[in-house]
Structure formats: structure tokens, C-alpha cells
Chain A
């Protein structure tokens, strides 16, 4: 897949082939510049590939975007300053013309799911970074997209907050059953969360290995103490080293 201005397209990704199962939690892991964010944007039809194809439940990516199959979460929460927490969560629903009563009902449920029910009338800038990112997740889930695309959503948070939000995300994932594609450059985070990890390397971006993570679910803090957890981290680290 190439993208960029015509003629001088940069080869960002080559020969990437991935199948993602319904309801799966898949991580794209790799160093910066390996094209993992690019791949995520290609899946979400925020960028167009110069070759190859992306299909979601048999649909082309562009069709899937128009059908509102994608929920996006970025590294920064991108909340609208002038909207309350609840109104931010409702934004996609307003755009999709969901009736007001249902909007309220869904917002309340989602804010409860991410533990922010008491903050619905606060403004984003009154919340901590971790809370803002939880609002962004609730917003992405509000229209019940088939697949959640997350681009280093916890990359800007401190480690303690990140660990807690990892747990909460697994909880949200198991409650909603959404498919999640999760971009990260943190090996422990990928191992803790994923069913499978696509290990990527740069220049040009490619998938070197797809590592299944067979740690038992539900996972919790004790998972991080599991010897298998460390073995997987070691395995992935060796994959990354091989291909640098």
C-alpha cells in the first residue's frame, strides 16, 4: 500500500495481510514509523490505499465508514471544549439523527460503563487526562460501531492510569462484544489486552509475525504476574529485535 501525493507516493506499507475475526481484540505493535497508525487509518477509510483492499464484513472500507461501522479513538481525546461530557458522548448520535430520548438513554448507559456517570454535566477541561480518554471511548461506542479503532489511546497517560484503563477497556470490550484494533508501542499493554498481536517493522511497514496470546480470560492485575505473560513479552521482544 502506497499513499501520498501522486507520483511520489511513499511506500508506507507493503504486503500487509491480516484477517481479523468478529469480536477479536487485535493489537498492532511496533516502533514508531512502522506504519501501524497508517494501517489503522486505512482500515477506517481516513486514508485511501494505492493498492490492495480492505473489507469489513464483506464491505469496502469506504462503504463501511459511510455505514458508521467504525468508532475511532485517538491518542488525544479530541473532545469539544464547548460541550459537556454528556453532550460530547452524544455528538455522533446527533449527527446520525438518533432521537433525543434514545440519545440520553445511551449516553447515560455508556457513562456508567466507563465510570463517569457523575461527570455528565462537567466540561472536558475540568477532567483529568484519563477521564477525558474514557469520555472519548464512550463517544466512540455511542453509535454501536462494529469495530473500534484505537490509535495509542493511552499513550499520553501515566503508567498507573494506563494500567487501570487497560482493565476498564477489557471490561468494556467484554460487555459490548465489539471488535477492537488497537495500536500501541507498549509490549506489556499489547500482551495484556490482546487475543492476537501483529508485530510490525518499519521501512517499508510490514507485519512480521502474528502472535496469539493465549493468556486466560478474564484477565486482571494478577495476569501481569503470570510467568506466561513474561514469556510472551520476551517472545515479542525477540521478534522486534530480529527485524530492526
Chain B
């Protein structure tokens, strides 16, 4: 009976299994690697599945279905993962494509660095412009009720217009240069920044305002010492959404035929010529670019928004 009582006791203590910091780190790392392995494994399985189907049709067209069926499963799977015109390319093919595009002559379209630089700079410039506009709008809305009532409907409407419809119109107006692309990236980025900054600027304890009033603080001082720092965590939430939106904006803006460089142009090329490896490699490149820029925003946040409760 004593044994049972002891068991009950230890089960009732929450978090009764102490974990060392190192153990925690190792578990985290294992989880990250595990999920990565699952994603890659699933990708390989999917690639085998889809490519086996199309390879069978391919050999049937050649009249060599008998030869194909004669191969064992493993050789069939091997062929499926190394086909030069796959339905779904395997991870190592995508990686090899990205790798080879690093060495491409920089003047030719297709060089990965050039594409990264082109799309990346459009996205970053658009993000900076969009964020500045977004924060400025938020300040204006918080300052003036009339401005908010009269302008906010357009802000919302701007985001419901399909961007794909807007891009050709803007490109016609502004040309194929950098300007149209930066504007479109900014157009997608400003909205989440506006919404979160408005929320942040309004999230302030009314007593903190009374305190500033009792110090006879000026409007500018109140913004600088109270409103802005209090709103920063909210603003960064908007910036994190805005940076990914601006990457999408930049890529979509490159889609109209005639762009010379950038991931958008690579996507058009790949789908025009049915180059699935190039297409998937470009998709992966877009994802990696977005992740890198997102991490840059997170890094900035760590520098700027320090020492808040819950971040010990």
C-alpha cells in the first residue's frame, strides 16, 4: 500500500522529471533533425510515386514496357529518382540544380546569385518602403480619428484586390524596371505593419499616459518614451508578416514576360519549357530567400526589443 501511495505522490507533482539544459538542447536538436528527415523522406517517397507512373508511360511510348517491367523495384525506384525530366524532382536533383546555378556566368540569366540578389533587393527595398508607409499610416490613424475613418477602408480594399490583376497595370505604368517591383513588394508589406502598429500604439495602459501628463511631457516625448517602445513588440509582429509578403510581391512582380533576372523570371522560364527540376529548385530558392530575410527581421527584433517580460 505504501508503494501505491508513493507512486500517486510522484505522479501528482507537475514537471517531476528534471531535465538538464544540455538534455533540453539535445532534445530540441533531435526534434529539428527528425522533422527535417521526415520532410525529405516524404519528398523522396512522393518523387518515386509520381515518377514511376510517368516513367511507365514513357517506356510504353518507346515500346519498351517489357524491359521496364523486367527491372526490379529498386532499379525502377533508382531510375525514378534520377530521371532528367521528372514529374516531381528528387531533393538531390533540386540541390544539384541550385549548386550548378551558383557557378553559372553572372551575366547569363539563370545564375543563382544574380536571381537571389535581384529578387532579394526588390523584396528588401519594398519591405523597407512598405514598413515606413505602414508605420507612418499607423501613427496618423492613432493621431486622427477622421483620418482613420476616411482612409482605412481603402487600406483594407487595397489588400482584397488580387495582386495578379494589379501587377500588369503597374508594370504598364512604370515599366519593367526596379521601381514597379519595389512598389508591388511594398504594397503587400505595408498592410500587416499598419494593422499591428495601430494595435500596438493603442495598447498602452491609460495610467501610463496620465503619468506622462503629470510630468508635463510633450507630445513628441510621449511618443518617443512611451508609445513607440510600448508598440515595438506589436510592430515587429507586423514586420515578420510583412517581410514574407514582400518576397511574394517581388516574385509576382517579376512574372510579366520581359524581366531579365530574378526568381519570377526563372519560374516563367521553367514552366514555359517544362523544366521541372529548375521549377522546383526555384521554388526552394524562393523559400530559402524568404527564410533568410525573416531571420534577419527576427535578429533585428532581438537587438531592438530586449528585456521584455516572458523573454528571460
Residues of A within 8 A of B (CB): 41, 44, 46, 65-68, 70-72, 74, 76, 78, 80-82, 84, 91-92, 94-96, 123, 125, 143
Contact = CB atoms under 8 A, between A and B. Distances in A.
A228 to B, nearest CB: 36
A68 B215 contact: yes
Interface in B182-237: 205, 207-208, 210-217, 221, 225-226, 229-230, 232
A96 to B, nearest CB: 7
A82 B211 contact: no
B24 to A, nearest CB: 22
B213 A74 contact: no
B214 A70 contact: yes
Contacts of B229: 80, 82
Contacts of A84: 307
A82 B200 CA distance: 15
A230 B157 CA distance: 68
Contact of B214 (A72, A82, A125): A72
Interface of B: 205, 207-208, 210-217, 221, 225-226, 229-230, 232, 305-309
B221 A95 contact: yes
Contacts of A95: 212, 215-217, 221, 225
Interface centre among B208, B216, B232 (most CB of A within 10 A): B216
Contacts of A82: 229-230, 232, 305-308
A234 B212 CA distance: 39
Interface centre among A71, A84, A95, A143 (most CB of B within 10 A): A95
A66 B204 CA distance: 23
Contacts of B307: 81-82, 84, 123
A71 B207 contact: no
Contacts, number: 56
A92 B216 CA distance: 9
A44 B212 CA distance: 12
A24 B232 CA distance: 42
Interface centre among B211, B212, B225 (most CB of A within 10 A): B211
A65 B207 contact: no
B205 A78 contact: yes
Contacts of B308: 81-82
A152 B49 CA distance: 71
B309 A94 contact: no
A72 B307 CA distance: 26
Interface centre among B213, B215, B217, B221 (most CB of A within 10 A): B215
B216 A78 contact: no
A121 B241 CA distance: 34
Nearest to B308: A81
Contact of A65 (B208, B214, B221, B232): B214
A82 B215 CA distance: 19
Nearest to A82: B229
Contacts of B211: 72, 74, 78
Given A65-B213, A82-B307, 11 more contacts: A46-B214, A74-B210, A74-B211, A78-B208, A80-B230, A82-B308, A95-B212, A95-B215, A95-B216, A96-B215, A125-B309
B205 A92 contact: no
A73 B215 CA distance: 12
B214 A80 contact: no
A124 B282 CA distance: 48
A72 B210 contact: yes
Contacts of A123: 307, 309
Contacts of A74: 207, 210-211
Nearest to A125: B309
6 tightest Cβ-Cβ pairs between the two chains A and B: A125-B309, A72-B214, A78-B207, A95-B217, A92-B215, A66-B216
